[in-house]
Amino acid sequence: MNMSFTCRNAYLIKFRFTKPRPKEKYAICVCEEKPLFFFISSNPRTRFLPDSQLKVSPTDLSFLRKDSYVNTAEAVTCVIPHTCKIIKDFGTVPENIRQQIKALVRESETLPKRFIDIIIKKL
């Protein structure tokens, strides 16, 4: 399997730094050079503003089994093979979802400006 990331793609990735133990997470690559990701979780991240959590469904992203949330409040980095391993590449996230993510990122109160600029340009 190709062990590099493509911006705009969704992945199932095994992250070594998750607690209490390493686990597989859905993530959207928003910049391949860093690389930066937004996690997709089945529950919204309550420590962040509710409007930073984009609700998505299996209709939006076919690999999902239930409604989930893209956490746009926090960009996570991943360096293969040190911190993560690609389990599956689901391909490009649909344009309408990418546009919704960009709209939230433009209004972000938590992301550094340099990340906002990169994500808007790349996604």
The predicted structure's pLDDT at residue 1:
45
The predicted structure's pLDDT at residue 34:
84
pLDDT in tens, 56-104: 999 999 999 999 999 999 999 887 767 788 899 999 999 999 999 999 9
The predicted structure's pLDDT at residue 68:
98
Mean of pLDDT values over 46-64:
89
Query: Full-prediction pTM beyond 0.85?
Result: yes
Alpha carbon of 81 to those of 60, 86, 93: distances in Å? 30, 9, 24
CATH of 9-122, one of 1.20.1260.60, 2.30.30.110, 2.60.40.10, 1.10.3720.10: 2.30.30.110
The predicted structure's pLDDT at residue 45:
78
What span, in angstroms and rounded, lies between the C-alpha atoms of 106 and 20?
A: 32
Query: Does residue 35 register a pLDDT over 80?
Result: yes
pLDDT in tens, 105-120: 999 999 999 999 999 9
What span, in angstroms and rounded, lies between the C-alpha atoms of 82 and 35?
A: 13
Residues with Cβ within 8 Å of 55's Cβ and at least 6 positions away in sequence, in order, are: 44, 67, 68, 69
> Cβ(38)–Cβ(76) under 8 Å?
yes
Q: What percent of the chain has pLDDT over 90?
A: 69
The predicted structure's pLDDT at residue 3:
65
